[in-house]
Amino acid sequence: MIETVLHEALRDSVDEVLEKMFFAETLGEASDARPEPDDIAVEVPFEGELAGVMCLHLTAASAHEIAADFLGIDAAEISPTQVSEVACELANMICGSVLSRVESTVAFRLGVPRIVTSPEGPPAASSPHSPYCVQLSKGRIAVCIAT
């Protein structure tokens, strides 16, 4: 039951946050979640009734596009630091949205999002906990919650 609730919350949160806060349109679930050498991975630990970590894995192209859209600047002007900071902010927003949907009546605490090395590939490929992978116009995003 919790797997279904988490997957639905992930799907709804990813789609909503990308559309409303990052001006990015999702093109449906992605079937291919194989890692690319320059992918970016972010983890956000959380505590509450559910405790665990949310993992966000972005292709470099999707991270760059999202950062440019979010900051409202030309993609050619984006620095690697800005891309990393926006990826962390995206992870933070998605995690907060998911937990608000799942734990709507209890308090929870988010940890600080951090960029991590992810040799296993995206969460969708390495974690059994409710993965959701979505295709964007440039690249894809995979998200999962491990409790």
Q: Where are the domains of the chain?
A: 2-135
Question: Alpha-carbon distance 62 to 18, whole Å?
Answer: 11
The CATH number of domain 2-135 is 3.20.20.140:
no
The tens digit of pLDDT for each residue in 4-49 reads 788 888 999 999 999 998 888 888 787 766 667 788 999 999 998 8
Total Cβ atoms within 10 A of residue 66: 26
The tens digit of pLDDT for each residue in 89-115 reads 999 999 999 988 887 777 889 999 999
Structure tokens at 36: 């690319």
CA geometry: angle at 39 spanning 35 and 45, to 5°?
Answer: 100
Question: Alpha-carbon distance 136 to 143, whole Å?
Answer: 14
pTM of the model: 0.87
Contacts of 73 (CB under 8 A, 6+ apart): none
